[in-house]
Structure 1
Amino acid sequence: MRQRLPKNTYKALRKTIDLGVELDPAVAEVVANAMKDWAIEKGATHFTHWFQPMTGFTAEKHDSFISPTPDGKVIMEFSGKELIKGEPDASSFPSGGIRATFEARGYTAWDCTSPAFIKEDTLCIPTAFCSYTGEALDRKTPLLRSMEAISKQALRVLRLFGNETSQKVITTVGAEQEYFLIDKEFFKKRKDLVYTGRTLFGAMPPKGQELEDHYFGSLKERVAAYMKELDAELWKLGVAAKTRHNEVAPAQHELAPIFSSTNIATDHNQLIMDTMKKVANRHGLVCLLHEKPFAGVNGSGKHNNWSMSTDDGMNLLEPGTTPHENAQFLVFLAAIIKAVDVHADLLRLSAANTGNDHRLGANEAPPAIISIFLGEQLTDILEQIEKGPATSSKQGGMLTIGVSTLPALPKDATDRNRTSPFAFTGNKFEFRMVPSSASISGPNVVLNTIVADVLSEIADQLEKAADFNGAVQQLLQDIVKQHRRVIFNGNGYSEDWVEEAATRGLPNIRSTVEAIPAIITEKAISLYARHGVLSEVELHSRYEILLEEYSKQINIEARTMIEMGKRQIIPAVIKFATELAASINTIKAAAAGADVTVQGDLLAEVSSTLASFKAKSSALEKVTEEAADVEGGALTQATFYRESVFPAMGELRKVGDYIETLVDEALWPMPTYGELLFQV
């Protein structure tokens, strides 16, 4: 931009990006022309407004730069109007009732705070997406609103601490993305993976992840080649991919980018997921982003590392060497503690989807109970504050390993806790519950909004204080006393914690269906309205979309299981049983006294298990048909899917996985877990 735009244009655009000043259409015209020239030089022939509808994916409609001339030729044009505004069909995306089929008009609006990029031969312009009547139909608009809300309230608090120079507070995110890689040929032979992204049947092989040998292990050549190209493709798009490694489960891996502003980090995470899939295809692989593609081994999450910084570079969550003396840090820390405790239901909902229902609470991911890990140092300081002013901070010291050639290492003041859903990790919070397949927009909209709300309360209270220091001390003490229940530094995987959390009064929201109603409570509607993040209409639309999406996904999974059972598993088992019966008859005919007990016992077991499988399949089919006719609204139907269809799927799977262990491997109609997980 600096190289290609006139100085005044560049300054005007920077003002809009940095300070939120309204963009002059004349500036947009100059920017559009420069952007077009840059894109064409890079080989682009088309442009698109790249947006993020409520599908969870991205959307784009490509238009070429060509425009006809009176002499029958064409020129390459791109106007400021085309840059600023687009008109996709709003009724073809999920709207939760905001748009009917006959109400098709919607708009995309250029988000100049997120850089444009070139993907293949197309200039992609990040945009917000709204309806003809102005409601947000996407994931970017609420995120941008929430970022403005937290900046406004955080600046109020900073001014009270004497900061007159910072003009903006920016929330930053680094999203660690977990994923699986499997061979494309195996993928194509699994209807469950093709239709749902996860295996609906599959017996565990003799080896899983129990040897813990895959985590951080040496990369296989095929995987290393994939990761190398993935990095290169992401760097071309401006995505600063930084870290790559093997994860805990076989065939599981992780990629982490460098931190950036929450808006850009969200855009980049969408690009990461899209690019992962495309690059995998070139290597004869398939990238699985489902939260639980394989039963019996770890699933995938997305660790959302969230922090707050000023525009002049100060991290507001940096404790310093003596955090007990850092009153500003402690106020922001207290605001987050209160926000997470008061709005645990919204934070839990932000990490809810059908895939995560399989993952949360297992011995691989945080439990469904929202709690905060602070570590020994900060917990000790808060305990001091509860009784009076804090006077000391625990220090980490040095760690001596005991080998003379190895250096002494500076030791952190606190350990890490991978079982916590929301853990302080030095100068940021790691929200570990986020689903691997989901946009990180939802969790960050919630984080920004709930923290903004508490900061607003704090600013209101401190602005009226006659004795500022005394008011800060009292504020911290009150928050610690009222919300310390949410602080937990222990083992989040233990059953003891589930019981203890219940005694503390912490909610344990176990499923997506239970979580969704939190978005339309009076508390939530009031919260989002206070900060202009989402209107009541927009919240109700998302409520409907989430419930409908849940029901549709479970329905697709159930129907896929039924089809696989009828058309693949049952025929394969019948064929095996027929061959087994023929073998018994052949042996008896050849040698009347031959012992065919083994064959007979196996045939009997296969036949009885097949009968059980057919009964469970019929039961699933019946309850799935009933689900389609459930009346009483979206919540009633989603609840029926959760309480009736989902358990029936589990019952069918148990029998299906067992029967796989009985049937001749050569006759089994789909690639096994052993092939999927270990042959990449």
Structure 2
Amino acid sequence: MAKDVISEVFAIDVFNDVVMAERLPKKVYATLKKTIEEGEELDLDIANIVAHAMKEWALERGATHYTHWFQPMTGITAEKHDSFISAASNGGNAILEFSGKELIKGEPDASSFPSGGLRATFEARGYTAWDCTSPAFLREDAAGVTLCIPTAFCSYTGEALDKKTPLLRSMEAISTQAVRVLKLFGHDDVKKVDCSVGPEQEYFLVDKEKYMKREDLIYTGRTLFGAMPPKGQELDDHYFGSIKERIAGYMKELNVELWKLGILSKTQHNEVAPAQHEMAPIYGTANIATDHNQLVMETMKKVAKRRGLECLLHEKPFAGVNGSGKHNNWSLVTNTGKNLLEPGKTPHENIQFLLILSAIIKAVDENAALLRLSASNPGNDHRLGANEAPPAIISIFLGEQLEDVISQLIETGEAKSSKQGGKLNIGVHTLPELKKDATDRNRTSPFAFTGNKFEFRMVASSMSIAGANTVLNTIVADVLSDMADELENAENFDLAVHDLIKKTLTDHQRVIFNGNGYSEEWVAEAERRGLPNVKTMVDAVPSLVSEKSIKMFEKFKVFSEVELHSRAEINYEAYSKAINIEAKTMIEMVNKKYIPAVIKAVATLAESINSVKAAVPSADVSVQTTLLTDTSALLAKAKAAVNRLQEVVTEAATKEEGAEQATYFKDVVFQAMAELRAPIDALELIIDREAWPVPTYGELLFEV
């Protein structure tokens, strides 16, 4: 039955290769495939035929509208719906049309999206351009069925205003440079190298009715107040535990919805924190994986609402428990099907693998702050460094096997062996011996080699993976380019590649760390090694517009200098706006909910004391008096703190937009927010639960 369900629903809402092969003339299909696989320009006549077939398929499925679906710098997706209706020339009935021109290009307003100064309100025109490498799909909701066409988004003057355009550029860059290197190893059959990505998605589910009583969750995605309940995640009983019926029903529906969209939803389980879960897909090409991950997040929220739940994608919705990330599993695969990060059984003999590995190590070491920024948003600053999240210091975990190979190369100039995993005997005769991997895992590493890929664990759970993969592709392409330049001019290739691997690993071994990334000792050791510890998003932004970054991104035409400066401004602005919204939400909640509730509780307590004294003058009311005194003191502290927060929020508005304002929010406003939270959380532990104005952590995390 399960097999039938999957086979019946998988990709039924996708205009994929199978559908195109069925509906397009053979020559048109072959031409479109060549465009997709080899990047050749698409002819308008071909686009017209594709558009007609796409329209007919969509109409058969009940579609009435189409939209260019794109990913602006908001971090979420955007769309403008147009119906297929056109007026008949004779003024009679409406006709249904969809042309190649409409498929290829759209014209949304570009002035109201974040542009970092690239577009002003009076400079409104923008264009969306069909990304034919990512299949169109259907989406059904209250508006009906809509044909969604994945597109790139750029301004009238040609600058990228989205996440996808730079990603596509970076994919071309790394493919070109990787092919150059592979040809030196004799792989003339390799025409293209794809960046393959598998983003694991962590999320929280809470009861919608409780969610709607928390303005902080509604406005900011995280709880700005909340005392820890008696039980959190310390027993480790939620991780991989039995899935509750209500959550299992949600996961089942989520899988079906994702399968319909052709998303290979593979793994589901409970995560570390109470009410936290994870979904992991099978890998796909970077731009399709990016599109799919955006759809995953949208679908998670949509299905949750149907089931009386709310899906939280914020990186730290609850203080004191595990935060959510998006582990970005990244590898390079040739058009002939070879994974360039597959070390083989004897990696010490795999020179091609060692060269690619050394290039990645150098790229990460030289661009640590840039990588940190690529995984950053305001919420991730709360998460990095604790509770299963990697530290803010970028380092690479390679495992014992590769670390040993590298040590041999650096120390002796030659690697003669590779450690093998062997077998694990569990000690029970009825259980089989297990084949051990040659390397353990390290969950504290932000950039870990995990068999035949790198897992970039820093990426924030609510953000697009496009930025992280754009940076990864470009920095590795940059190193591969330099390596290809050197090796193409070498008189003795074998000797030159050997010397290049040894030199690269020797120069950049400082970034390799297999130990505990959470320890204080590592922070000191990293500083001794000269590794940057970029603690916040604001601190990381300058790396985007450094002389080195501008030169590199312009070299591969991934970003122009203007585009980089605009993105820096967008990052500063996004941070400032996020913290400003959080601060204003705190002020409103304290003034309108917490203080009135505490005043009422204090009045009730005072009345109780007076009543007891009136009835029994000699009665001991020391407990009530102490509670009254403590509560009143915390109330006064909260009032002083909320006044202080209001002052600094007002002051923040006077700062120059950009770096100055973002830095003020980070250093001053954020601290004032913490000072306000402390007395409110302390009051929560004193005030009667029935009198507390919002659902508590215990209710949100355990009553799902």
TM-score (norm 2): 0.96
Gaps of 5+ in 2: 1-19
Alignment pair present for 1:360 and 2:379: no
Distance 1:159 1:480 in 2: 22
Partner in structure 2 of residue 643 of structure 1? 667
Distance 1:388 1:132 in 2: 54
The answer to whether the 8 Å contact 2:68/2:148 transfers is yes
Alignment pair present for 1:388 and 2:413: yes
Q: 1:113 aligns with which of 133, 138, 142?
A: 133
Q: 1:290 aligns with which of 311, 314, 323?
A: 314
Partner in structure 2 of residue 96 of structure 1? 116
Distance 1:591 1:371 in 2: 68
**1:252: Cα distance to partner?**
0.2
Alignment pair present for 1:226 and 2:250: yes
The answer to whether the 8 Å contact 2:323/2:387 transfers is no
Distance 1:344 1:281 in 2: 39
Paired residue total: 679
Once the two structures are superposed, the pairs formed by residues 277-356 of structure 1 within 5 Å of their partners are 277-356=301-380
Q: 1:76 aligns with which of 89, 93, 96?
A: 96
Partner in structure 1 of residue 265 of structure 2? 241
Q: 2:149 aligns with which of 125, 132, 156?
A: 125
**1:509: Cα distance to partner?**
0.2
Distance 1:46 1:236 in 2: 19
**1:320: Cα distance to partner?**
0.3
Q: 1:535 aligns with which of 546, 550, 560?
A: 560
Letter in 2 for 1:116: A
**1:477: Cα distance to partner?**
0.8
Q: 2:690 aligns with which of 662, 666, 670?
A: 666
Distance 1:507 1:174 in 2: 27
User: Deviation per CA, 1:182-218, whole angstroms, max 9, x where unpaired?
Assistant: 0000010000000000000000110000010000011
Partner in structure 2 of residue 657 of structure 1? 681
Alignment pair present for 1:186 and 2:206: no
Letter in 2 for 1:215: Y
Q: 1:215 aligns with which of 239, 246, 266?
A: 239
User: Deviation per CA, 1:490-531, whole angstroms, max 9, x where unpaired?
Assistant: 000100000000000000000011011110010000010010
Alignment pair present for 1:56 and 2:75: yes
The answer to whether the 8 Å contact 2:35/2:41 transfers is yes
Distance 2:75 2:377 in 1: 11
Alignment pair present for 1:34 and 2:53: yes
Once the two structures are superposed, the pairs formed by residues 363-442 of structure 1 within 5 Å of their partners are 363-386=387-410, 387-442=412-467
**1:591: Cα distance to partner?**
1.1
**1:363: Cα distance to partner?**
3.4
Partner in structure 1 of residue 509 of structure 2? 484
The answer to whether the 8 Å contact 2:385/2:392 transfers is yes
User: Deviation per CA, 1:320-352, whole angstroms, max 9, x where unpaired?
Assistant: 000111100011000000000001111011111
The answer to whether the 8 Å contact 1:363/1:493 transfers is no
The answer to whether the 8 Å contact 1:292/1:355 transfers is yes
Distance 1:581 1:364 in 2: 45
**1:388: Cα distance to partner?**
1.0
**1:398: Cα distance to partner?**
1.0
Letter in 2 for 1:306: W
Q: Superposition RMSD on alpha carbons, in Å?
A: 0.6
The answer to whether the 8 Å contact 2:36/2:133 transfers is yes
**1:476: Cα distance to partner?**
0.7
Q: 1:43 aligns with which of 59, 62, 65?
A: 62
Distance 2:540 2:682 in 1: 33
Once the two structures are superposed, the pairs formed by residues 139-154 of structure 1 within 5 Å of their partners are 139-154=163-178
Secondary structure of 2:327's partner? Answer: strand
User: Deviation per CA, 1:452-503, whole angstroms, max 9, x where unpaired?
Assistant: 0000000001001111110011001101110000000000010000000000
Letter in 2 for 1:326: N
Partner in structure 1 of residue 540 of structure 2? 515
User: Deviation per CA, 1:143-198, whole angstroms, max 9, x where unpaired?
Assistant: 00000000000000000000010110000000000000000000100000000000
Distance 2:113 2:85 in 1: 28
Distance 2:241 2:64 in 1: 43
Letter in 2 for 1:621: Q
Alignment pair present for 1:634 and 2:654: no
Distance 2:566 2:604 in 1: 56
Distance 1:513 1:126 in 2: 31
Distance 2:702 2:492 in 1: 65
Q: 1:175 aligns with which of 199, 202, 216?
A: 199
Moved more, 360-369 or 538-547: 360-369
Letter in 2 for 1:361: G
Q: 1:15 aligns with which of 34, 57, 60?
A: 34
Distance 1:477 1:34 in 2: 55
**1:85: Cα distance to partner?**
0.3
Q: 2:179 aligns with which of 124, 149, 155?
A: 155
Distance 1:651 1:356 in 2: 20
The answer to whether the 8 Å contact 2:321/2:387 transfers is no
Alignment pair present for 1:566 and 2:591: yes
The answer to whether the 8 Å contact 2:116/2:568 transfers is yes
**1:71: Cα distance to partner?**
3.9
The answer to whether the 8 Å contact 2:385/2:518 transfers is yes
Distance 2:268 2:388 in 1: 19
Secondary structure of 1:275's partner? Answer: helix
Distance 1:104 1:66 in 2: 26
Secondary structure of 1:562's partner? Answer: helix
Partner in structure 1 of residue 15 of structure 2? none
Alignment pair present for 1:263 and 2:287: yes
Alignment pair present for 1:475 and 2:500: yes
**1:627: Cα distance to partner?**
0.6
**1:66: Cα distance to partner?**
1.3
The answer to whether the 8 Å contact 1:346/1:518 transfers is yes
TM-score (norm 1): 0.99
Alignment pair present for 1:602 and 2:622: no
Distance 1:166 1:475 in 2: 23
Secondary structure of 2:455's partner? Answer: strand
Partner in structure 2 of residue 613 of structure 1? 638
**1:654: Cα distance to partner?**
1.1
The answer to whether the 8 Å contact 2:200/2:278 transfers is yes
**1:429: Cα distance to partner?**
0.1
Secondary structure of 2:23's partner? Answer: coil
**1:592: Cα distance to partner?**
1.2
Letter in 2 for 1:287: C
Letter in 2 for 1:592: P
Secondary structure of 1:166's partner? Answer: coil
Partner in structure 2 of residue 494 of structure 1? 519
The answer to whether the 8 Å contact 2:69/2:77 transfers is yes
Letter in 1 for 2:390: P
Secondary structure of 2:63's partner? Answer: coil
**1:109: Cα distance to partner?**
0.3
The answer to whether the 8 Å contact 1:558/1:649 transfers is yes
User: Deviation per CA, 1:616-654, whole angstroms, max 9, x where unpaired?
Assistant: 1111111111011113x4101100000000011011111
Gaps of 5+ in 1: none
Letter in 2 for 1:614: K
The answer to whether the 8 Å contact 1:177/1:302 transfers is yes
Partner in structure 2 of residue 6 of structure 1? 25
Letter in 1 for 2:68: H
Distance 2:207 2:323 in 1: 18
